[in-house]
Amino acid sequence: MTIRGISRWGAAVAVLVAASTATAQEPPPSADDSPAVAETRLVTEAAQTDSVAASEAPAASKVRAKRRVLRDARIVISVARRRLWLLQGRDTIMNVPVAVGMNRSFSYAGKRFYFATPRGMHRVLTKKDDPVWVVPDWHYYEVAKYNGLEMVFVKPGERYDLSDGTYLEMRDGQVGRVNQFGNFWAFEPGLEIIFDGKIFVPPLKSPQRRIPDALGPHALVLGDGYMIHGVHEYDKDSVGRPVSHGCIRMHNSDLEQLYDMVPIGTPVYIR
């Protein structure tokens, strides 16, 4: 029997935060500090009580009004507290919640993954408007394992017959379904292709692996597949929780402010 409904995908690209105890008098590190020392001192500063940090932060409306580029700022993320701070000198410009990595492993079909936010010192390597999520293999492994599905990797030139007389194949680089009359329809990006107890995995470069809107309006790229990015409308409640596969996820309104103010090269300290 064909599973006629194609389930909506569930992107899990998230965020991290950390915790520590500190005194409000702890000065921020200078630009000359070594990465290790700077990270420790920045996270210490960031771990002040929310009330102290909030009192230092300017009103959101003022931040939006200025939207100035902060050449000497740095970003601090606490995985434990699931918060992000944008700091400039001794001033706290932003103090907002984020989603972070779930910090757990996943195994399927002889493959093992560990989903956590990478700690240490990073930098904003590049900035992307309207980023597109290229769905990793681990997403399909998760869907298959948790729904008891067989995985089928779709290949160009192959035909995949379904129980209702239709079949799947690739045409012009897209994965689609051919009905009983020979008409071909490409699947909409963002839909999981599930039929007959199987999940069909599109090739990496096909449009069906490229999901728009999943990462919000912008992304700050940290390297190795990790980003600070926004959320799709259906996923906004995930912010503030340890649910991602390693990325740092923010409310889109907070991301808009951060994105405008930090240039490429801005240091990012994660602990």
Per-residue pLDDT tens for 198-238?
Answer: 999 999 999 999 998 899 999 999 999 999 999 988 888 99
Average pLDDT over residues 27-54: 41
Q: Give the confidence band of 67 by pLDDT, cuts at 50, 70, 90.
A: low
Pair 185, 228 in one domain: no
**Closest Cα to residue 44, out of 10, 87, 12, 93?**
87
Pair 95, 171 in one domain: no
> What is the β-pairing status of strands 267-270 and 73-78?
parallel
Average pLDDT over residues 108-116: 93
CB 254 within 8 A of CB 64: no
Q: Give the confidence band of 109 by pLDDT, cuts at 50, 70, 90.
A: confident
Our count of domains for the chain comes to 2
In this prediction, residue 268 carries a pLDDT of 98
CA dihedral 235, 240, 246, 249 (to 10 degrees): 60
In this prediction, residue 63 carries a pLDDT of 45
Higher pLDDT, 235 or 73: 73
Question: pLDDT of 127-143, one tens digit each?
Answer: 999 999 999 999 999 99
Of all residues in the chain, what percent carry a pLDDT higher than 70? 75
In this prediction, residue 236 carries a pLDDT of 87
Assign residue 54 the CATH number of its domain. Answer: 2.40.440.10
pLDDT of 104 higher than 80: yes
pLDDT of 196 higher than 90: yes
Last residue in a domain, options 172, 188, 211: 211
**Closest Cα to residue 174, out of 184, 165, 164?**
184
Pair 165, 96 in one domain: no
In this prediction, residue 213 carries a pLDDT of 87
The overall average pLDDT reported for the chain is 81
pLDDT of 30 higher than 80: no
CB 223 within 8 A of CB 238: no
Pair 221, 265 in one domain: yes
Domain range enclosing 260? 35-131+215-270
Pair 74, 111 in one domain: yes
Quick one: CA dihedral 103, 106, 111, 112, positive or negative?
A: positive
| Residue 181: Cβ within 10 Å count | 6
Pair 107, 241 in one domain: yes
Pair 158, 180 in one domain: yes
**Closest Cα to residue 178, out of 164, 192, 196?**
164
Pair 122, 246 in one domain: yes
Pair 120, 246 in one domain: yes
Question: Following DSSP, what letter does each residue of 125-175 receive, concatenated?
Answer: -EEEES-EEE--HHHHHHHHHHHT-EEEE--TT--EE-TTS-EEEEETTEE
Pair 93, 177 in one domain: no
Pair 40, 101 in one domain: yes
Pair 242, 206 in one domain: no
